[in-house]
Amino acid sequence: MVKKIAFVLLAGLVIIQFFRPARNVSTAATPNDIGNKYAVPANVQEILRSSCYDCHSNNTAYPWYANIQPVTWWLQDHVAEGKGELNFNEFLSYPPKKAHHKLEEVIEQLQEGEMPLKSYTFIHRNAIVDAEKSKILSDWAKGLMTEIAVTNNLEVKTSEEKH
């Protein structure tokens, strides 16, 4: 009985290897990329590439284990969720108020230590955002929020006014 169960599980594992979701890889130009309109200093760009873009852009650098099911499905779910929340390659398609709010969320996530995900940094040690990197990203996001608010005449409530 145990052998039959093991055989069925092994057969199932082999069969699911043939069902793969589309990968988040694009060679197309990204006309809505955040860097096409707003200044993204080199140090910020480096942090975004190493810590954010795998889940928050149109290009994911897949590790070797992304070729094994069901890990692929799990990774694709994370990528789809991340892109749904914020996609730096599509940032210019956001209305100004939404773009402003997304940057506010970036700052909150950094302050709370929730991004990048611990499950991601467990394996991708170079993606860890330490206090210095967090300050660099937060300062950049705050400056960009101000630029978006001023350029678009947004009435923005301060955190004290929200509570």
Query: pLDDT digits over 13-36, tens only?
Result: 666 677 676 776 777 778 999 999
The model's pTM is: 0.78
Other residues' Cβ atoms within 10 Å of the Cβ of residue 92: 16
| Boundaries of every domain in the chain | 2-162
Query: pLDDT digits over 74-90, tens only?
Result: 778 778 888 899 999 99
pLDDT at 157 over 60: yes
